[in-house]
Amino acid sequence: MTESYDVIIIGTGAGGGTLARHLAPSGKKVLLLERGGWLPREPENWSTEAVFVDNRYVSADTWYDGNGKPFQPGVHYFVGGATKLYGAALYRLRKEDFGELRHHDGISPAWPISYDELEPYYTLAEDRYQVHGARGEDPTEPPASAPYPHPAVSHEPRIQQLSDDLEAAGHHPFHAPCGIMLDESNPPYSTCVRCSQCDGFPCLVHAKSDAEVLGVRPALEHPNVTLLTNARVTRLETNDAGTAVTEAVVERDGTEERYGADVVVVACGAANTAKLLLQSASNTHAKGLANGSDQVGRNYMYHDSTAVLALSREENETAYQKTLGLNDFYFGADDFEFPLGNVQMVGKSQAAMFRGERPRETRLAPDWTLERMAKHAIDFWLSTEDLPRPENRIMLDGDRNIRLTYTETNAEAKRRLYAKVKSLLGKLDMNPDHLIHRFAYMKNDIPIAGCAHQAGTCRFGSDPATSVLDVNCKAHELDNLYVVDTSVFPSIGAVNPALTAMANSLRVGDHLLERLK
Ligand SMILES: Cc1cc2nc3c(=O)[nH]c(=O)nc-3n(C[C@H](O)[C@H](O)[C@H](O)COP(=O)(O)OP(=O)(O)OC[C@H]3O[C@@H](n4cnc5c(N)ncnc54)[C@H](O)[C@@H]3O)c2cc1C
Ligand code: SF4
């Protein structure tokens, strides 16, 4: 007989883990199905070689590009999902991102909810994920109903100097919102030890605000919540009319198991959520579950990001580098009327990351060894908004493998953002000639394998012809199927996506608590 629950949540990352914690105190019977296991706590968590060279925590999946060429996607299957490895830069989208925005390559569409509707949930998400930040420094910052729950993480000396130099050059650097449990007022009791192995690494001491530590673990303190690990959902079955999901079919330890629930929530990440719905095609849902509109899998986005490093004249001894952001080009520049994007810091370069991949640009400076380069590096992460295009999509091939067809959008804006940062270097006490693409950490120019910021594929909206989900993120075509991960995004903005997924998950969670009363 099928075991039955009030709610099944599939996937335990930013979307699923956050929802689990929100529903847990209700006493409702909640089942979490997670295809991965617990990420082992081991010395390799903080080993640059293990994480960046050996890809120890990257899934063994093979996906295929639009031409059928195989690649290994940068995805992470663990309790906590991608947040186990993320940089925990927990940004809100800008208020304007919720409306229609004109870009160089076209329109970034409006969301079906306004910023003001999501605002209370951003505040709650910042609280749950212990975000450290400072309001009032970033001119593009959207209005907030509460201060950050924790003070901003201080800049280390070289980043403070960068901040001062940017201000002197007329810019508005700000303290970036960081999800690390650092208590600078009481170091002996701080969970976070402020190390250099954060962005892209798991946190050995569980001080990163990830969805395992602050989502799943608190949820499991409630006896009504059950977690099954290594439980990959392969299919969702419906009733004969196709109006409700009746069972999740699970592959666990080589055997098939089935679980039922009144409500089923999918949160597998944008690519895998689309995959699950597509492979759940049936007589009543011939093109895939909830896919009468043919929108499932479409509008895949992942940010036009570039990881670059500049060479500081002095050595950069910063350990935790992600404390600074710059949004002065978010909506455009004096010489460009369209949005360019966000500039932030990325985890500090280490020579071991470059092993075997000597950046071409260093040929310009042959006296710079990789070690010396890493010591002087100041590392930036430039993100331009990627526009949703129906032809950028997840499909399944004959063997049910993911096929990701993607053509870049907004390349001109991305090029200009890079040029803007490069033009600033001389004023920032950095070598003016070199803004070097990083050939580590998600690779240069983030080819499609670097799908860390994947979003879209099941967007929510009010029109069933152009969206998969309604305003509550319930499938238009089914009574009890919801999605709460980044796949719901109608547009992605140019800031990191996790906090928005968490906030939206809390919003949908409130709707579910009402529904389940
Ligand atoms: C290296 C790295 C750095 C990043 N840095 C940042 C950052 O600084 N700030 C930020 O905002 N974002 C960052 N991101 C992105 C952020 O982590 C994601 O946007 C976020 O985790 C997405 O949440 P999600 O719920 O959509 O998916 P995920 O968090 O990926 O969760 C999906 C979960 O579903 C599980 N799953 C998948 N398929 C199945 C199935 N069939 N059955 C059962 N379970 C399944 C997966 O194992 C996973 O646990 C980063 C990501 C990476 C990889
Ligand atoms: S900086 Fe803090 S949160 Fe990040 S890995 Fe180090 S100890 Fe963990």
Among left, alpha and beta (phi > 0; psi -120 to 50; other), residue 359 is: beta
DSSP H helical segments within 350-424, as ranges?
A: 370-376, 411-424
Distance 351 CA to ligand 2 centre (A): 20
Q: Which residue has the tokens 């019977």?
A: 29
User: Does residue 264 have its Cβ closer than 6 Å to ligand 1?
Assistant: no
Q: Which atom of ligand 1 is nearest to the CA of 497?
A: 11
| Distance, CA of 368 to CA of 311 (rounded, Å) | 10
DSSP reduced 3-state for 403: strand
From 195, 212, 346, mutation site for ligand 2 pocket: most ligand atoms within 8 A of C-beta = 195
Counting ligands in written order, which one lies closest to the CA of residue 31?
A: 1
User: Does residue 85 have its Cβ closer than 6 Å to ligand 2?
Assistant: no
Q: Which residues have C-beta within 8 Å of that of residue 494, sequence separation ≥ 6?
A: 303, 330, 339, 341, 342, 383, 384, 385
| Distance, CA of 50 to CA of 16 (rounded, Å) | 27
Whole-number pLDDT of residue 101: 98
Whole-number pLDDT of residue 352: 80
| Distance, CA of 447 to CA of 441 (rounded, Å) | 11
Q: Are 259 and 3 in contact (CB under 8 A)?
A: yes
Distance 191 CA to ligand 2 centre (A): 8
471-483 pLDDT tens trace: 999 999 999 999 9
Q: Which two tokens stand for residue 90?
A: 């927990």
Whole-number pLDDT of residue 360: 53
Distance 385 CA to ligand 1 centre (A): 19
DSSP state of 111: P
Q: Which atom of ligand 2 is nearest to the CA of 206?
A: 8
User: Does residue 326 have its Cβ closer than 6 Å to ligand 2?
Assistant: no
DSSP state of 22: H
Distance 201 CA to ligand 2 centre (A): 9
Q: Which residue has the tokens 């036009």?
A: 304
Interaxial angle between packed helices 115-128 and 14-23, expressed in degrees from 0 to 180 and rounded to the nearest 10: 80
Distance 202 CA to ligand 1 centre (A): 13
Question: How close are the terminal C-alpha atoms of the chain, in Å?
Answer: 26
User: Does residue 193 have its Cβ closer than 6 Å to ligand 2?
Assistant: yes
User: Does residue 56 have its Cβ closer than 6 Å to ligand 2?
Assistant: no
| Distance, CA of 209 to CA of 87 (rounded, Å) | 10
User: Does residue 198 have its Cβ closer than 6 Å to ligand 2?
Assistant: yes
Counting ligands in written order, which one lies closest to the CA of residue 208?
A: 2
Counting ligands in written order, which one lies closest to the CA of residue 235?
A: 1
Q: Which atom of ligand 1 is nearest to the CA of 505?
A: 25
User: Does residue 497 have its Cβ closer than 6 Å to ligand 1?
Assistant: yes
| Distance, CA of 71 to CA of 62 (rounded, Å) | 6
Whole-number pLDDT of residue 371: 82
Q: Give pTM, 2 decimals.
A: 0.97
- Torsion over CA: 341, 501, 481, 267 (sign): positive
Closest alpha carbon to 111 in 99, 103, 121: 99
228-258 pLDDT tens trace: 999 999 999 999 999 999 999 999 999 999 9
User: Does residue 346 have its Cβ closer than 6 Å to ligand 1?
Assistant: no
Instruction: Using only the alpha carbons of the chain, give its radius of gyration.
Output: 22
| Distance, CA of 325 to CA of 109 (rounded, Å) | 25
Low-confidence ranges of the chain (pLDDT < 70): 1, 355-367, 439-447
Q: Are 89 and 276 in contact (CB under 8 A)?
A: no
Whole-number pLDDT of residue 366: 59
